[in-house]
Amino acid sequence: MRQAGRYLPGYRAVRSVHGFWDVCHSPELSTQVALEPMRLFGLDAAIVFSDILIVPEALGLGVTFGAGEGPQIARPLRTEADLAAWNTRGMDERLAFLPAAVKHLRAALDEQIKDTPALIGFAGAPFTLFAYTVEGGGSDDFKRARVMLHEEPALAKRALSQIADFVGALLVKEVEAGADVVQLFDTWGGLLDAHDYATFCAPLVREISDRVRKKGGRVMIFIRGGGHLLDALAGAGVDGVSLDWRTPFAAARRVSSDWVLQGNLDPVRLFASPERVAEATRAMLDDMKSSSGGRRVIANLGHGIMVGTPEASVRAMVDAVKAARW
């Protein structure tokens, strides 16, 4: 959940001299920023530093991040011709920096961090990448993307399916490079109703999961605001579901007793004194314990760490989790 980022001084120092894409593309820099929270907080797992939009960028769509704004995509998908212009050859090569970063981070974790933390890889979920690609950037409602699902379902499905192919291939490479588990980030899937999610997204999640699991990896998925999509996820073959801060553990456990459930502390809770963070964390752990059916859980946030989050809060949360006796 965005372990490394602007809330950390080491990250800010790196970014003051290197561009965002440069950090992503350099296994050394990527590893350096990914290790910072491991050293600071003693987390049980590390996540590779990357961005969900590396796939559209590798397709040649021109992804940039304006200062203070969301991402912009220079060549959005609007027509069949746009899709035909995607630079689909050589994707493995253009995305090789991410498995390289995973491999580099894996070695660094083994050498430098005690207790051999797990390593998490990730990629954007197909719908979220499709949504940015159709919209040409961020949006409140991703109207264009959602309209395309209904008005040009054949084009939408071809685009989604191509994206899913590249996402699956990328996640397989991450697993081969040493990721124990990969997470699909679906920032915008929660905009869809359950029927559309089941129609357009769940089958792709299933395909990706099957590919990753065949290689011995495990798959988790996070859908922001996706509490209404748990049933639609039931057959999608994922090992785990990361719950957003509004989705109770009990709701997910009712759908599947097999899922590893991860979550779900509201990141705004970290803007508090360490004592209160510890209290909120313990309340979350109590809820996990009482409502997740005695099955496997991972204590985490229910969305990405926010800019400005105090380091002491993250430490207080981690310490409260480690101190818990089940």
Out of 6, 75, 206, 282, pick the active-site residue.
6
Out of 11, 132, 197, 218, pick the active-site residue.
132
Residue nearer to a copy of itself on the CB measure, 15 or 144? 144
Q: Is 211 a catalytic residue?
A: no
Q: Is 2 a catalytic residue?
A: yes
Distance CA 122, CA 47 (A): 8
Site residues (vs a copy of itself, CB under 8 A): 141, 143, 146-147, 150-151, 190-194, 225, 227-228, 245-248, 251, 266, 268-269, 271-272, 276, 303, 306
Out of 7, 11, 12, 15, pick the active-site residue.
15
Residue nearer to a copy of itself on the CB measure, 251 or 324? 251
Angle at 222 between CA 96 and CA 33, to 5 degrees: 50
Q: Is 51 a catalytic residue?
A: yes
Single-letter amino acid, residue 117: P
Q: How far is the CB of 80 from a copy of itself (least distance, A)?
A: 18
Distance CA 131, CA 164 (A): 13
Residue nearer to a copy of itself on the CB measure, 65 or 94? 65
Q: How far is the CB of 310 from a copy of itself (least distance, A)?
A: 12
Q: How far is the CB of 48 from a copy of itself (least distance, A)?
A: 24
Distance set, CA 62 to CA 47, 93, 162 (Å): 25, 17, 18
Out of 11, 51, 211, 244, pick the active-site residue.
51
Beta strands 63-65 and 71-73, pairing class: antiparallel
Single-letter amino acid, residue 141: D
Residue nearer to a copy of itself on the CB measure, 209 or 264? 264
Distance CA 66, CA 70 (A): 7
Phi-psi region at 113: left, alpha or beta (left = phi > 0; alpha = psi -120 to 50): beta
List active site positions: 2, 6, 15, 51, 132
